[in-house]
Amino acid sequence: MATPPSELEPEASSGELTKAELIRDAGPAGLLAVAWTILPAIFGFVLLAQLGPVSEWLTEQGSLGILIYVVVFALTAGFGLLPTYAQAILGGWVFGTVIGLPAALIGFTLASAIGWSLARMISGGRVEQLLKRHRKSDAIRKALIGRSPFRTFIIIALIRIPPNSPFALTNLLIAACGVRLGMCTLATAIGMLPRTAVAVGFAAAAQSTGAKDIQTFVTDGLGIWVLIGGIAMMLIVLMVIASIGQKALDRMTAEDGDHL
């Protein structure tokens, strides 16, 4: 007896998903994607504006402040409330590079696990099935998970390298494509290390001038031009890192495309 058409697995269409269609068809996961696009940008600026009071409070907590920082980092980044760059700057400002960098690494690694779990729970297999119905999106999904685990690991790490790679949204994409949790967290830790080190180091250097916050660094510290120069140098380093990572990612996805 022939299987009814409604029970057949939908064949991938050649149409390309628009953002509006993806959000609509993804259901709750689409709403989550919208929230994870807007909220980190807003709360990130708020955190940097309140860098002085927050850093003072963390410093007053002594060694417990490190644990508080890691836990809050993991929860707020994992639930898509704060961007990792703002929290990396906070870690460098309060704890310096030696402590701030490993604390930030632990924080966002735990955050990736939380974000992956939340995205998987909300999206289920809906987004994965949605991607399969469109050839271009399905090609991206297969390039990510369709070959060896090692290649998947490398691609995820490369995706995480650029400073403009949105942490929470990338968690949603990785989880929706069916990448395993262990792979996600380990590749995230490796991929985000360079950009986190730059942000932590920049903040630690700025705080070493004796400034209490960014505003004080500009008005009473070394001045606005030093800040602009420091930011410019940080951006140049990040752009170089991102360019190297993007070229490597392009080569790998191009090779995957030849096999699809």
Over residues 16-28, the mean pLDDT reads 53
* pLDDT of res. 127: 56
Over residues 20-45, the mean pLDDT reads 72
Torsion region of 83: left, alpha or beta (phi above 0 gives left; psi -120 to 50 gives alpha): beta
Per-domain boundaries in the chain: 19-259
Above 90 in pLDDT, residue 173? no
Residue-wise pLDDT tens digits, 199-218 = 898 888 888 877 777 667 66
Residue-wise pLDDT tens digits, 141-161 = 666 666 678 888 888 888 888
Over residues 65-71, the mean pLDDT reads 96
Two tokens at 13? 């269409």
Taking the C-alpha atoms of residue 173 and residue 26, their distance in angstroms, rounded to an integer, is: 12
